[in-house]
Structure 1
Amino acid sequence: MLKPLRPLLFLVLLAASGCASVYFPAPPPASLLTQKGEFYGGISTNQRGNFAVQGAYAFADHVAAAGTFSSYHNNRKRRTENYDFGEAALGYFTRLPDRRVLEIYGGLGAGRTQRLDRPDEDTPTVPGTKLDGSLTKFFVQVNYAKKKQRPVHLFGRDLPLSYGAAWRLSHVQLTNFKINGQLQDPATNVFFEPITFTRLHLTGPLQLQLMSGQNIGLKRNKYLKAANSVFQVGLIINLGGQATE
C-alpha cells in the first residue's frame, strides 16, 4: 500500500550525507497544472533547514509560469553556510488520459553563496577558509505524474495518494568566486537532478508532499559539485484545476 513511499526512505539518508559544496539544488516545482487559471503554491523545508517557497500559474491553455525561492542559512561549530537562490521558468503542460499530467519547463536562476570553514581545534594555527561567489543557472525540467491513486488509510481516514517524478538538467556557473578574498577563475558544472515526489491529500486543496532525489554532477569540480541532494517535506495547494475523478 505504501510502495510509492519506499524510494523516499532510502533517499532521506542520502540527503544528509553529502560533502561540502557551494551549490544547493532547489526543489523543482511539480505544479501538475491542468487548465488555464489554475494556481499552485508550496512551502517546504528539510532536516538541514533548507527552506523553499514555490508558485506556478497557468495564464493560458497549456502555458504556465513558475518560480522558486530557496534559502539555506546554517551556523555550526566548524562551518557557516549562507545560500539564497531564486528561479523563474516558463513551461508547457497538458493532461493525459487516466488522470496523468505532463509538464515541460525551461528557466533560469541566480543567487549568492557563501561558506566559512573554521580550523580544527587541534590545529589552531591553520587558518580558516572563506568561500563566496555568485551563481547563475539555466535548466530544463520534465514533470510526469498521476494525480490520484488508491487511497491510503491513515489516522482513521482514507487519504488519496498521488506520486510522480521530475527530471531536471541544470547548467550552473560560479562567478565572482573568491577564496579568502582572492578572486578565482569562474567554474561551471552540469547537474542531472532526478526527483520523485509523493503527495497525500489532507483536506480541500491542501496536500502533504514528500520530495527526494539525487544530484549528479557531470563534470569534476572541487567546489561546484554534486554534494547536496534534494529532500523536502512541505505543504502544497492546487486551486482551480480540473477534477481528478
Structure 2
Amino acid sequence: MTVVLRLTLLSVLIGLSSCSSLYFPPPPQAPLLTQKGEFSGGLHTNFSQNTALQGAYALGDHIGVQGSASFLRSDKKQSFFGSRNNRKYEEHNFGEVGLGYFTRMQDQRVLEFYGGYGFGDGKRTERREGATTQTLEGNLQKYYLQANFSKKLSKTWHFFNHDWPVSYGMALRASYVQLHDFKIDGKPQEMEDNVFLEPISFTRISVLGPIQFQMISGSNFGLRSRKYLKAANSVFQLGIIVNLGGQEGKR
C-alpha cells in the first residue's frame, strides 16, 4: 500500500502544479483481451474531474475493437496558490475508437497493439474578480498508436482481514493531436499540433468476481513546444473495470 500512496501523492502534486492546456488526455485503455467474444468495460476519473467511460470487445481470437468517451467540467482557481477570485472554467469532450491485435503468451502474459482516431472539443474561460478576461476554444483531432503489456507477476495484499489478488501492467501510447478552429475571445488563431508520449503503469485489485479496482499512474510528454496544446495535464486515474468472457488466469 505504501507504493500506491506515494504514487497517488506524486500524481496529485503534478496535477496541482501543471499549467493549462486545452487537451486533457483520456486514460489509455488496456482491455487485455484473451479470446473471441470477450468484453472489457471501465469507468475512470481523477482529481481534475476528467471522467472516461471505456469499452472493448474481441471480434475474433486476435482482433479487438475499443472505444471511449471522456468529459470534463471544472471550475477552480487559476493557480493553486492564487486568489479565489481568479478562476478558470474548463470544458472538455472527447471520443476515441480503435482497432487492434491481441495475443496471450504461453506464460499467461497478454500483449496488445491498437491504433485509432479521436475527436472532441475544448474550452477554457478565465475570470478575474468575477469578470471574464479571456475565452479560449477549439476542436481537437487525434491519431494514436498504443501497446499494452500485462506481466505474469502477481501478488496478494492482505488488509481488512481479506486477501486481495493484485496484478500489474504497462502501456505506451503515442498520439498526434491537432487543435483546429481555434479562437481566443472569438478571434481565429493559428492551428496548433503536438506529438504526445504517454507511458503509464496500472495496478488492478480484484474486488468481487470479474470486477477490479484500477489505478493508472504515468506521464505525458509533448515533443513540440506549444502554448495551448501541451502536456500539462495528469494521466493519473482511478476507476473500476470488468472483464467478461475471457480466459482464466492472471492478466
Pick the TM interval, shorter chain: over 0.9
- 2:199 maps to 194
Query: Structure 1: 5+ residue runs without aligned partners?
Result: none
Greater than 2 Å deviation, 4+ residue runs: 1-13
d(CA) in 2 for partners of 1:22 and 1:4?
29
SS in 2 for 1:10: helix
Q: Which amino acid aligns with 1:43?
A: L
Return the offset for 1:149: 1.0
Return the offset for 1:91: 0.5
Question: Structure 1-normalised TM-score?
Answer: 0.93
On the 8 A contact 2:22/2:123 being kept in 1, the answer is yes
- 1:106 maps to 115
On the 8 A contact 2:12/2:47 being kept in 1, the answer is no
Return the offset for 1:10: 2.8
- 1:58 maps to 58
SS in 2 for 1:83: strand
SS in 2 for 1:208: strand
Q: CA RMSD in A?
A: 1.8
d(CA) in 1 for partners of 2:163 and 2:153?
13
d(CA) in 1 for partners of 2:154 and 2:219?
25
On the 8 A contact 1:85/1:110 being kept in 2, the answer is yes
Q: Which amino acid aligns with 2:158?
A: H
- 2:247 maps to 242
Q: Which amino acid aligns with 1:28?
A: P
Quickly say closer, same or farther: Cα 1:9–1:119, change in 2 above 3 A. Answer: closer
- 2:128 maps to 119
d(CA) in 1 for partners of 2:4 and 2:33?
21
d(CA) in 1 for partners of 2:143 and 2:157?
38
Matched, 1:228 2:233: yes
- 1:144 maps to 149
Return the offset for 1:7: 4.3
Return the offset for 1:229: 1.7
- 1:80 maps to 89
Matched, 1:40 2:35: no
On the 8 A contact 2:68/2:97 being kept in 1, the answer is yes
Q: Which amino acid aligns with 1:115?
A: R
SS in 2 for 1:25: coil
Say how many residue pairs are matched: 241
Matched, 1:219 2:224: yes
d(CA) in 1 for partners of 2:9 and 2:106?
30
Matched, 1:93 2:108: no
Return the offset for 1:135: 0.1
SS in 2 for 1:230: coil
d(CA) in 2 for partners of 1:15 and 1:33?
31
SS in 2 for 1:13: helix
- 1:181 maps to 186
Q: Which amino acid aligns with 1:140?
A: L
Quickly say closer, same or farther: Cα 1:12–1:95, change in 2 above 3 A. Answer: farther
Question: Structure 2-normalised TM-score?
Answer: 0.91
